[in-house]
Amino acid sequence: MSPQKWPNQCGDCYNRALDDNLPLEVPGAAVTILTLEGKWFETSGVSDLENNIAEQILGHS
């Protein structure tokens, strides 16, 4: 089963919360929320500072 996005208002709120609260010393983060109502997967920042490669979510089942 692939990740399903929650309604935009939920996803947008979670995205802002992640982006607004990521400390400057943390280059990137990945967050997953699983409930009976749905799944939310998001990343923020970079996973490779040297090459400026964005965080990615891979291989969810």
pLDDT tens figures, 16-33 = 888 888 888 888 888 888
The per-residue pLDDT of the chain, averaged, comes to 75
Distance (Å, whole) CA 47 – CA 24: 14
Residues of the chain predicted below pLDDT 50: 1-2, 61
Q: What is the pLDDT of residue 2?
A: 45
Q: What is the pLDDT of residue 54?
A: 78
Q: How many CA atoms lie within 13 A of 2 on its CB side?
A: 2
